[in-house]
Amino acid sequence: MTAPTAPAVRQARALLDALLGQAIAAAHPEKCLAPHLPRPPSGRLIILGAGKAGGSMAAVASRFYREEHGVPEARILGLAVARHGYGEAAPGIRMVEAGHPVPDEAGIAATREALRIASEAGPEDEVLVLLSGGGSANWIAPAGDLTLSEKQAITRALLRSGAPIGEINTVRKHLSRIKGGRLAVAARNARSLLTLAISDVPFDDPAVIASGPTVPDPSTLEQARAICERRGIPLPEAARRLLDDPGNETPKAGDPAFARAAYRIIARPIDALEAARAGAIAAGYEPVMLGADLEGEAREVAAEHADLARKAKAEGRRVALISGGELTVTIRGEGHGGPNQEYALALAIALDGEAGIRGIAADTDGTDGGRGEATDPAGGLVDETTLARARAAGLDPAAMLADNDSTRFFETIGDLVRPGPTRTNVNDCRIILVG
């Protein structure tokens, strides 16, 4: 087989970018929210949004009710919280930008206000909650005597430990005033409570999306304690008291707060992957769906996918390996990066310049790990020239992987994926083109 020409490599890279764009667009609120919005109520409509799509969901809802249905301003009120850089104007709904993944004071103030608004809902009011990934960090209200700095430290320790999002949320729910069904308790006097959610979690579990503020919580204090012990998470005394207090247990199924509550998922990770699948078919590739709910250590999953790509190439197949989910990184080094960038670096090392195989890995929210800035990269792009270009630039790929320094690796060779704030979030999208 002859080596691919430079135009062929460029064409494949452009296709990978396009497929990622199609995946992201399929899960944007502009496409998926309006069909699920309920008819205007006779009383007040209280809109509360949180997460990386919190601003865009609120904007779509505001236009739907104000412009399309002529609902007067006096009957709409609300508050939406999104990650810094992810806000969007939504007339009638106050927009707040707050910290993610580590919460900040803006998130605390907005969460207190959201709880106040929900608690003041009356029997003629309908509460519409718009949830998306990132809501766990944006809706932050430490319980008991726990301080923001203490909760920030716990969040950082959980992230560094490599804990999956489900474990992280189990702990956060039991240290919060809003998570784990507690928002539903605050809104218990409303006529109805409807949650519309964009899922960013494996298996689309409502109790995990944004830490389930409006649904019964199946996790327990005992599980939260066990996670902290197993992961070696240092806990301040205020957190220990909360996790040891039976009265701090989250509301469970059967609680009256959920009697008039409904929940609907409007976009899932699989929706984004199906859009990428359709694009791959149109480009002449056989799609191979590896799953929308993959979990595991990023570098280990990358090695497995490299083996699958090599096998497909050896069989002479022209395929697109497509996967989603949320991988993790156990931080052992001093570098910077995220699961998608680490996956891409490990993929490049495992492929070792194999011709005819190119891949992209990115978080659909537009940022992957990083320092919590809207300008953080979303992932990395890999082709048969990746390692050669890196070594020519004086980089040692294996050493940088060991140091968790994937951002610097891809930044140096110009292959960071930077879509900017996408204002949606359906987890990771990874595509490998073979042939």
pLDDT at residue 4 greater than cutoff 80: no
Say whether both 292 and 188 belong to one domain.
no
The answer to whether residue 245 is domain-embedded is no
Say whether both 125 and 13 belong to one domain.
no
Q: What is the pTM of this model?
A: 0.90
Report DSSP state, residue 386: H
- Give the chain's mean pLDDT: 95
The answer to whether residue 161 is domain-embedded is no
More confident residue, 253 or 371: 253
Say whether both 263 and 278 belong to one domain.
no
Task: Sort residue 420 into left (φ over 0), alpha (ψ -120 to 50) or beta.
Answer: left
**What is the domain-level CATH number for residue 40?**
3.40.50.10180
What is the C-alpha to C-alpha distance for residues 92 and 71, in angstroms, rounded to an integer? 11
Confidence of residue 363 (pLDDT cuts 50, 70, 90): very high
Range of the domain at 65: 30-141+176-216+251-267
Say whether both 295 and 425 belong to one domain.
yes
Residue 83's DSSP bridge partners are 98
The answer to whether residue 243 is domain-embedded is no
pLDDT tens readout for residues 298-344? 999 999 999 999 999 999 999 999 999 999 998 899 999 999 999 99
The answer to whether residue 126 is domain-embedded is yes
Instruction: Please give the tally of structural domains in the chain.
Output: 2
Say whether both 205 and 287 belong to one domain.
no
The answer to whether residue 151 is domain-embedded is no
Say whether both 428 and 327 belong to one domain.
yes
Say whether both 313 and 211 belong to one domain.
no
Say whether both 209 and 283 belong to one domain.
no
How many Cα atoms within 13 Å fall on the side-chain side of residue 192?
A: 14
The answer to whether residue 108 is domain-embedded is yes
pLDDT at 5: 54
pLDDT tens readout for residues 133-169? 999 989 999 999 999 999 889 988 998 898 887 898 8
Say whether both 52 and 18 belong to one domain.
no
**What is the domain-level CATH number for residue 17?**
3.40.1480.10
Report DSSP state, residue 162: T
Say whether both 283 and 388 belong to one domain.
yes
pLDDT at residue 372 greater than cutoff 80: no
The answer to whether residue 233 is domain-embedded is no
What is the C-alpha to C-alpha distance for residues 152 and 27, in angstroms, rounded to an integer? 29
- The radius of gyration of the chain's CA atoms, rounded to the nearest angstrom, is 22
pLDDT at 3: 44
Chain CA centroid to CA 195, Å: 17
The answer to whether residue 171 is domain-embedded is no
Provide the percentage of residues in the chain whose pLDDT is more than 70: 99
pLDDT at 1: 34
- Last residue within a domain, chosen from 239, 267, 295: 267
